Structure 1
């Protein structure tokens, strides 16, 4: 295989693996006035009080109807905070008309004792959404009562709304005039996790993760997933092309997570030669090995080498992007990569193939690695 045909295969594999980041994501947060919808949005995005104020200033668009709030996180991601879809319809702008054509997620927010009349708004929302998440907000109002009271309230809401699951949540403390020394955020993680899992199935999870205030945990997932992938790809015929494509996709995903920029196939792959130049021997080994028939021991060795190089590459990219630097700075890439490569060899050398092929196990390793170096 010549160089041109190799990169043609890399590009084909890249395009097969890469997420479609040109899609749009629409989220409707629906509930009565003063049900804490804005605070819930802030908590879902992991925002601090200060960051929440900035979102309100920069991202919010005033609607014609009194209680409608449109939040365009970017050109592809739109959240609408409204008492009901009727308020969205009344606004009748191009933004809301396009929004109503397709809503990916509806978050229906209720508070207090059950109110069966709210089922009308929920049923309306269900007609327009791919998935619905029902939230019982402000559960702190039940804190002074026996825990069974909250359980009874949740059960009644489930019955009146005819839903199987309700997320009990508290998002207290986002009010800029709040005297609370610390925000009271409870129950948001399971909701966020289920929303992200749903979006992942649609290939839209990165569109939302891009706007999370805390991104390191998502970077860990991108890196760990790539490591598990390359460990398996080391055993495939033509493995070098698969491994290179996986590295390129992970670089593009990290770039979008931190910057919102969509790297083309060529731009993502063009970064890799800088790293390969630092590991010429190992890179040549992986390239040559990929054209040999499966040999067992050599395949296992290739899996280890590919995981070490990939961890060093992606840790370098993550470090540079999280610091706000540019991936075009080749000297910086090389310098940081040398440090990470040395440490990656120490971390990975004694791990069994079962360890580097297990996503939870490798995620733990990546978390510690990024936190240590």
Structure 2
């Protein structure tokens, strides 16, 4: 460990950041997520949540709701999907119960069938009723594998919903664009500090990790500091420590305070060499455009991808493994998306 960092000030910075981020994430994991789904019976709601969670949840997790028209799917106690009939139910009591679910929901997934009549008059009426209750809506255009001219269908939906909501074209049958739906869900849940809980239970953790790493790199680059102690070092420490803990939570492999500190010091000191970080950014998709010439951004992204790689390959998070992992990255082809 570099002697330059053997001081009480650095220990204080690191300790504060580690416990602050750990507490934030633990608080997130204790919350409940409620996701309402609305759409025709053939719109693929059940198959979509099965794809998202990598489990046959819609077949085995159903629980009776308040009416025969509402079905609840409970995943690990605190993630609840509710299949609702919409607000145009002929039974007024059912519509009132459905309305309460929309009011309480973190996200409403509004399903449309790309192979059917997309956004029919009745669907549009129902949509406009729902958006009076909540703006946290994601429009899911499912079954794109059975339809043509998807870009025009997406534009048609956007035109008729005033471009106010994300439209995600997917195939729950083939899995196409499921990672895109994940990303949009996390964008909404992040505003409510519930994204980490959801991400931890997604099937595709790799794309989530990539999203977080690039976002942390951009934040570090915005700090504008080189990775050395100074006025900008405290926020940089917080960003990098937070990223390590988030990634470790995502893969359900907690990082110890001691190992996190070693990894941070090895990265900040740059004893592996600043050049290697700049080289790494060149081979990580989208990283260069995110961090530009920022050393802080580059080191943050390199650290993030190293932590991700170690988790995915059952390597203990220790500073002594960093150099080997970085050198392995540099041997990969520039176009290799698997980093």
Q: Same fold (TM over 0.5)?
A: yes
Matched ranges for 1:222-237 at <5 A: 222-231=212-221, 232-234=224-226, 237=230
- Separation in 2, partners of 1:133, 1:368: 31
- Structure 1 runs not aligned, ≥5 long: 174-182, 287-302, 348-363
Query: Residue 263 of structure 2 aligns with which residue?
Result: 275
Change (3 A) 1:341 1:186: closer
Instruction: Give the secondary-structure state (helix, strand or coil) at the position aligned to 2:307.
Output: helix
**TM-superposition CA deviations, 1:275-333 (whole Å, max 9, x none):** 368689757x99xxxxxxxxxxxxxxxx648845x5564444323432467xxx5xx63
Q: TM-score, normalised by structure 2?
A: 0.64
Query: Residue 355 of structure 1 aligns with which residue?
Result: none
Shift of 1:116: 2.2
**TM-superposition CA deviations, 1:41-65 (whole Å, max 9, x none):** 344x2x6xxx342x34564434354
Total equivalences in the alignment: 302
- Separation in 1, partners of 2:86, 2:190: 27
- Separation in 1, partners of 2:100, 2:313: 36
1:214 and 2:204 are equivalent in the alignment = yes
Give me the CA root mean square deviation.
4.9
Question: Given the alignment, which residue of 321, 324, 335 partners 1:339?
Answer: 324
Matched ranges for 1:52-67 at <5 A: 52-53=55-56, 55-56=57-58, 59-63=61-65, 65-67=67-69
- Separation in 1, partners of 2:71, 2:243: 35
Instruction: Give the secondary-structure state (helix, strand or coil) at the position aligned to 1:122.
Output: helix
Matched ranges for 1:69-218 at <5 A: 69-84=71-86, 102-111=104-113, 112-113=116-117, 114-138=119-143, 142-143=147-148, 147=149, 151=152, 155=156, 164=163, 167=167, 169=169, 171=171, 173=173, 183=174, 185=175, 191-218=181-208
Q: TM-score, normalised by structure 1?
A: 0.60
Change (3 A) 1:91 1:72: farther
Query: Residue 250 of structure 1 aligns with which residue?
Result: 243
Shift of 1:219: 1.6
1:28 and 2:41 are equivalent in the alignment = no
- Structure 2 runs not aligned, ≥5 long: 275-293
- Separation in 1, partners of 2:68, 2:144: 27
- Separation in 2, partners of 1:305, 1:142: 45
Given that residues 103 and 128 in structure 1 are in contact (C-alpha distance below 8 angstroms), is that contact kept between their aligned partners in structure 2?
Answer: no
Given that residues 179 and 204 in structure 2 are in contact (C-alpha distance below 8 angstroms), is that contact kept between their aligned partners in structure 1?
Answer: no
Given that residues 61 and 69 in structure 1 are in contact (C-alpha distance below 8 angstroms), is that contact kept between their aligned partners in structure 2?
Answer: yes
Given that residues 10 and 242 in structure 1 are in contact (C-alpha distance below 8 angstroms), is that contact kept between their aligned partners in structure 2?
Answer: no
Given that residues 28 and 80 in structure 1 are in contact (C-alpha distance below 8 angstroms), is that contact kept between their aligned partners in structure 2?
Answer: yes
Shift of 1:105: 1.6
Given that residues 110 and 136 in structure 1 are in contact (C-alpha distance below 8 angstroms), is that contact kept between their aligned partners in structure 2?
Answer: yes
Change (3 A) 1:5 1:75: farther
Given that residues 69 and 94 in structure 2 are in contact (C-alpha distance below 8 angstroms), is that contact kept between their aligned partners in structure 1?
Answer: no
Shift of 1:117: 3.0
Change (3 A) 1:241 1:268: farther
Asked which structure has the greater CA Rg, the reply is: 1
